[in-house]
Amino acid sequence: MQKLVVLFVFLLGGLVLAQEKYTISGTIRDSESGEDIIGARITVKELPGTGAVTNAFGFYSLTLPEGNYTLQYRSLGFALTELKVELNQNIKKDFELAPEGKVFDAVLVKAEKEDENVTSTEMGIEKINIKDIESIPVFFGEKDVLKTIQLLPGVKSAGEGNAGFFVRGGAVDQNLVLLDNAPVYNASHLLGFFSVFNSDALKDVKLYKGTAPARFGGRLSSVMDIRMKEGNMKKFGVSGGIGLISSRLTIEGPIVKNKGSFILSGRRTYADVFLRLSNNEALKESILYFYDLNAKANYRLGDKDRIFLSGYFGRDKFGFSDQFGFDWGNATGTVRWNHIYNDKLFGNTSLIFSNYDYKIKFGTGNQTFEIGSQIQDWNFKKEFDYYLNSNNTMSFGINVIHHTFKPGEIETGDGIDFILNDIENSYALEGAAYIQNEQKIGKRFSMTYGLRYSNFAQVGPGDVFTFDPEGDVTDTTTYGNWDLIKFYHGLAPRFSAKYLLDEYSSVKAAYSRTYQFMHLLSNATASSPTDIWIPSSNNVKPQIADQWSIGYFRNFAENMFEFSIETYYKNMQNAVDYRDGAEVTLNPTVEGELLFGRARAYGAEFLVKKKKGKISGWVSYTLARSERQIDGINNGDWYAAKQDRTHDISIVTMFNLHPQFTASVAWVYYTGNAVTFPSGKYEIEGQIVNYFTERNGYRMPDYHRLDVGLTYNSKKFKTVIDAETGEEKEVPRRWESSWNLSVYNAYGRENAFSINFRENAITGETEAVQVALFKVIPAITYNFKF
Amino acid sequence: MNRGMYIWLVLTAFVVLACEKVIDIPLNDADIRIVVDAQLRDSLGDNYVRLSRTGSVYDNANFEIISGATVTISDGATTYTLAEDPSEPGFYTNLALKSEPNMTYNLTIVTDGQTLTATSTTFDEPVISELFFEKQYNFFSEFDPSEPDSVFQVFYDFSDNGGQTNFYRVRAWVNGDEDRNFYVYNDKLFNGQNNIAPIWGSSVLAGDTVDVELLSIDEARYKYLVTLVSNLQSGGQGPTPANPTSNIEGDAIGYFSAFTIDTMRIIMPE
């Protein structure tokens, strides 16, 4: 590891050779909404291969030798804009880009040359344009980023209609899902069929499947970085939608024009409204719904400072009369201060809160039991971006998180005269420091290298158990407040490199190590509200992954087509699986139910994408394996992880055949999950019991499904006669609306959700009974904006 | 019991329009194993050891039984031989044997030249404090007029011995039909206190008779039952199914359990 540090210092040291140079820096925004543009690229016409990219807050900084330059500003979905500068001093230049296809009078040159997939050093990354997901057919008419991301190579759905996902053979809990930097611990609503992300409130979604930047850590498989919109800086706007399942409403606007803005976005389902129509009192009192509330505000304090406040609050509520209640949800909050120290140094300080909890209540009157579980984080981050020169962009920072785990709190009503013991809370401190540099060497070669130091301390108060090999408690130790129970730490290097073969193709390679100190225990295959997070402890070691990947990227026909192949190999230590028949819920000694071993995942991902034209879309194919080897399971042999899927294909096509109509078709196919089926049966206590020989030794049937969608947009412009000149001209309409019609599982494939082996009541013979959840599901949604 | 799973299923049933069908899944045939089903209760002659073998999943349920085995149960002082019932081959019993509290019993089976052994321990006799019921609105009557408007929820209440680590199983019969749900507890959450819980696996109507049996079992039997539940929930969802944890030493599966019980009956009003 020391060698790596030396290498780092050496690489940097060689670069800081003095020369007369000046810096142009600023913020790039959307001319229509005033929102910062993330990932906009600034290139220098006179110096091909030189440029800068805006960070998550739209800030860029570019240092060049003195001279006259033509700068080109570009971003996906925006018109390319040029600016001539005479660089003989440091310049601050904020810039606004106009959305593509809008009527405006600025210097529109041509649409963006979309070759970022080839030229960027990043690999194993998927970006989702929120506008794009509008045209992809969706489940129950609810557009959902987590569903769309499952159509991309290397990302797999956790189950029918499920918002949970597996990345490159990793488990659901190995994805770090961040909403404005706050971790979201359970990203699904209503049994996982919908994600908690209301796409009306979202601006940018990035999924790192491979080597993530060093500023991210804490999960093995992926980082999903979701940013909320900031709100329109220029004018008030209202948008919304009415669907079968839910309705949405978003209000945004300036607090002070071009200085501050806010956005408020809400969504609620209304299945329970129908219950109110019942004339039965008990049913009237029953509830079944979920809602989301996203809020964000930002304000510029002068040129150099900006304050952001953002929050998310969402809950699912289910209750039957007053006898049973079940509700769960996430709350996150972020306070962030951006500061531009100088034209090269950008700083970001955040205080982040994140909470997930669920409550289950049984009984009536004062005869009640309430079971609750919670995980809560307080998180402090200090991050810097340092634009050393046009060839080197550094980032560094620190992060401290305090975790509180409450696995099970039990409350009883006044009418119950005994107390059920709570499951003890656990506490932990997680820390990290990182440094990273993105370096260009010549026109063809670039690399990003970084180092992240992570540590994790399980602290008191609490009882800590020691287990024997059978998982029974042999010893209990009691710790006091803030006593250190167990400390883990390690260095996580990251490296990725790109070599441009020619204008249209590149090869990339990457390596990264990641640590995960928190583990999700689940009593179901798909994500469930009653899943419990546990910290690394004296019994549970952190999971460690090393991932190597290489890729070839090629664009064809003036970047009309994108093609890529990426292969990866991931080696994981301290993988967690359950003992046979493990009890996960309300078990004070749950750690004794776990077994540890190693895991590996490898695969190849192919993607062909057509980005422009009347017909656009992509074909993605993944060939992969995901395996585990754990003493105590399958005689210690390697076995397929549940999420092991050999083949995974997605074909997504969008037809923009008419200015007002967009049609779309998506087809998915994947190999069934690895599953445990019986290989025999026997009779005991008068009951037929299945006899198993190995874990995950069988396969669910193959899954496939076709979804279709049709969107009708109202005309965006109307023709008016200019009062002065008498000429006809087109002006934008204030009210925009669209109808979206979608059919999920259009050919009614009965995909297996579960398969049970049970006796036929009449013949007495054992049958394999498949349960399929959804056949054809049509949905209609109306969206509006003014 | 696994409440999370239950709620999960209820919720799932609410939201989705699931459809079931029988499909063809080819399965391997595992090697055939001996199955031991052995219980020793606390009333005279109320004990049995049933010996059989495993079969193929898709074969009918006429499992091969094992006759002619030598079966003994010892309490450390006396060894009792269980004789095969001439009218029911593979079923072994002894009319002079019953379990006592706080004893250890050893089972020995000799068959096919193999010896199988198992040990089970009894604890203090359990005590049901009371059975009571609540009249509740029947949700399903909303959709199905043939359903009664109200149903009864029967609760059991029993106290735990704080000085022992105890494990319990509750069995219930409604008008003589056994509730197929498993109510299994360890006292980790309520050591030394009462445990009150409902019988939710059967619908109880006006005038019904409900019999409840509380069994004080040992840890091995508890583990067996808990893992049996996850076995019975096997399928594509839910916890990974596995064979129940056996306490039989030797090449066999199954269990041997000695236990003490308390029973109580409650009759619903008309």
**pLDDT of amino acid A160:** 77
Residue A398 near chain B (CB below 8 Å): no
User: Cα torsion at A410, A416, A421, A423 (round to 10°)?
Assistant: -10
B144 touches chain A (CB under 8 A): no
Percent with pLDDT over 90 in chain A = 42
Question: Is residue A75 within 8 Å of A37, Cβ to Cβ?
Answer: yes
Residue of A nearest to B25 (CA): A768
Q: Is A681 on the interface with B (CB under 8 A)?
A: yes
- Specify whether the CB–CB gap between B101 and B111 falls below 8 A: no
pLDDT score at B140: 67
Give contacts of B150 with chain A, Cβ < 8 Å.
Answer: none
Range with lowest mean pLDDT among A106-110, A742-746, B63-67 = A106-110
Tell me which residue in A524, A530, A681 faces B55 most closely, judged by beta carbons. Answer: A681
Q: Identify the weakest region by mean pLDDT among A425-434, A485-494, A768-777, B134-143.
A: B134-143
Question: Which residues of chain B does A764 touch, with a Cβ-Cβ cutoff of 8 Å?
Answer: 60-61
Which residues on A lie below 8 Å from B190 (Cβ)? 418, 420-421
pLDDT at A110 over 60: no
* Residue of B19, B191, B231 lying closest to A689 (CB–CB): B231
Per-position b or e across B143-173, b if 16+ CB within 10 A of its CB: eeeeeeeebbbbbbebebbeeeebbbbbbbb
Q: Would an 8 Å CB–CB cutoff place A765 in contact with chain B?
A: yes
Written as six digits, the tokens of B201 are 């696996």
Tell me how crowded residue A241 is: count the other CB atoms within 10 A of its CB.
23
Q: Note the pLDDT of residue B4.
A: 42
- The token duo for B138 is 């029947």
**Highest mean pLDDT range out of A71-75, A337-341, B12-16?**
A337-341
pLDDT digits (tens, 9 = 90+) for B193-235: 888 888 888 888 889 999 999 999 999 999 899 888 877 765 5
Structure tokens at A704: 């496939």
Gap between the Cα atoms of A43 and A47, Å rounded: 8
Mean pLDDT of A753-770: 85
Q: What is the pLDDT of residues B179-196, one digit of tens each?
A: 888 889 888 778 888 888
User: Which one of B23, B55, B188 has the shortest CB-CB distance to A768?
Assistant: B23
* Confidence class for position B14, pLDDT limits 50, 70, 90: very low
Pairwise CA distance, residues A565 & A570, whole Å: 17
The model's pTM is 0.84
Chain A residues 192-221 with a CB less than 8 Å from chain B: 193
Closest approach of chain A CAs to the CA of B69, in angstroms? 18
Chain A, residues 456-495, CB within 8 A of chain B, namely none
Report the residue from A410, A420, A585 with minimal CB separation from B2: A585
pLDDT tens digits, residue range A703-752? 999 999 998 888 777 777 877 777 777 777 788 888 988 898 899 899 98
Any B CB within 8 A of A693 CB: yes
Residue in A with minimal Cα distance to B7:
A326
Mean confidence (pLDDT) of chain A: 86
CB contact under 8 A, B57 and A675: no
> Cβ contact (<8 Å) for B20 and A417?
no
Residue A768 distance to chain B (closest CA, Å): 6
CB of A169 within 8 A of CB of A625?
yes
Confidence of residue A510 (pLDDT cuts 50, 70, 90): very high
Quick one: pLDDT at residue A9? 45
CA A586, CA A208: separation in Å to the nearest integer? 34
Task: Please indicate whether, in this complex, the C-beta atoms of A757 and B234 are within 8 angstroms of each other.
Answer: yes
Q: Does residue A111 surpass a pLDDT of 50?
A: no
pLDDT band at A276, cuts 50/70/90? low
B18 touches chain A (CB under 8 A): yes
What are B61's two structure tokens?
């349920």
Higher pLDDT, A403 or B7: A403
Beta bridge partners of A488: A456
Compute the distance between CA of residue A418 and CA of residue B129 in angstroms, rounded to an integer.
Answer: 13
Report, as an integer, the average pLDDT of A625-654: 92
CB contact at 8 A, A315 and A329: yes
pLDDT at B2 over 50: no
The pLDDT of B251-270, averaged and rounded, is 94
Q: Residue A319 burial by CB count (10 A; 0-12/13-18/19+): exposed, middle or buried?
A: middle
Q: Which residue of A has its CA nearest to B51?
A: A684
A680 at interface of B, judged by CB pairs closer than 8 A:
yes
Q: Do B57 and A690 touch (CB under 8 A)?
A: yes
Confidence of residue A103 (pLDDT cuts 50, 70, 90): very low
- Residue A108 above 50 pLDDT? no
Chain B residue closest in CA terms to A160: B237
Q: Is A752 in Cβ contact with B241 (below 8 Å)?
A: no
pLDDT in tens, A134-145: 777 777 777 888
Q: Average pLDDT, stretch A681-689?
A: 89
Residue count (chain B) = 270
CB atoms within 10 A of CB A481: 9
Could you say which of A682, A696, A767 has the minimum Cβ distance to residue B22? A767
Interface of A with B in 46-85 (CB under 8 A): none
N residues, chain A: 786
Say if residues A455 and A434 touch (Cβ distance below 8 Å). Answer: no
Structural tokens at position B259: 């236990």
- Comparing A294-308, B136-150, B250-264, the range with the smallest average pLDDT is B136-150
A245 part of contact set with chain B, CB < 8 Å: no
Mean pLDDT confidence for B242-255: 92
**At residue A183, does pLDDT exceed 90?**
yes
> H-helix or E-strand containing A771?
strand A766-772
Q: Where is average pLDDT lowest: A15-19, A209-213, A245-249?
A: A15-19
Please, what is the average pLDDT of chain B? 86
Residues 6+ apart with CB under 8 A from B216: B122, B123, B124, B125, B126, B166, B167, B168, B259, B260, B261
Task: Give phi and psi for B208, each to the nearest 5.
Answer: -70, 150
The pLDDT tens digits of the residues spanning A285-295 come to 777 888 999 99
Chain B segment 65-124 residues within 8 A of A by beta carbon are: none
Of the candidate ranges A253-262, A405-414, A697-706, B39-48, the one whose mean pLDDT is the lowest: A405-414
Per residue in A520-529, pLDDT tens?
987 665 567 8
With beta carbons less than 8 A apart as the criterion, state whether B261 and B238 touch.
Answer: no
Least confident of A5-19, A50-64, A423-437: A5-19
| A282 pLDDT more than 70 | no
Task: Give the closest of B3, B28, B227 to A585, CB-based.
Answer: B3
Q: Identify whether A461 is preceded by a cis peptide bond (ω within 30 of 0).
A: yes
User: For residues A158 and A200, is the Cβ–Cβ distance under 8 A?
Assistant: no
What is the distance between the alpha carbons of residues A23 and B244, in angstroms, rounded to a whole number?
A: 70
Q: Is A158 on the interface with B (CB under 8 A)?
A: no
Which of A410, A681, A774 faces B16 most closely, judged by CB atoms?
A774
Sequential DSSP letters for A311-362: EEEEEEEEEETTTEEEEEEEEEEEEEEEEE-SSSEEEEEEEEEEEEEEEEEE
Under the banding of pLDDT at 50, 70 and 90, the label for residue B37 is very high
Which residues of B are less than 8 Å from A689 in CB distance?
Answer: 228, 231-232, 244
The confidence score (pLDDT) of residue A414 equals 78
pLDDT at B238 over 90: no
Start-end of H helices in A602-739: none
Q: Is the pLDDT of residue B11 over 60?
A: no
Beta strand spans in A81-212 (E): 81-87, 91-92, 95-97, 125-129, 155-157, 165-167, 175-179, 182-183, 188-189, 194-195, 202-208
Residue A274 has a pLDDT of: 64
Amino acid in the structure at residue A292: D
Residue whose token pair is 């005869």? A367
Q: How far apart are CA A26 and CA A59, in angstroms?
A: 6
Nearest CB neighbour to A695, from listed B25, B191, B240: B240
Strand partners, A738: A713, A783
**Cβ of A167: how many Cβ atoms within 10 Å?**
29
Q: Do A756 and B234 touch (CB under 8 A)?
A: yes
The pLDDT of residue A443 is above 50: yes
Tokens of B216: 């004080």
CB contact under 8 A, A765 and B223: no
Q: Which helix (H) or strand (E) holds B226?
A: helix B219-232
Residues in B 193-222 with any Cβ partner in A closer than 8 A: 193-196
Extract the tokens encoding B242.
């596995």
Whole-number pLDDT of residue A16: 45
Residue A457, pLDDT > 90, answer: yes
Q: Which residues contact B62 (CB under 8 A, 6 or more apart)?
A: B55
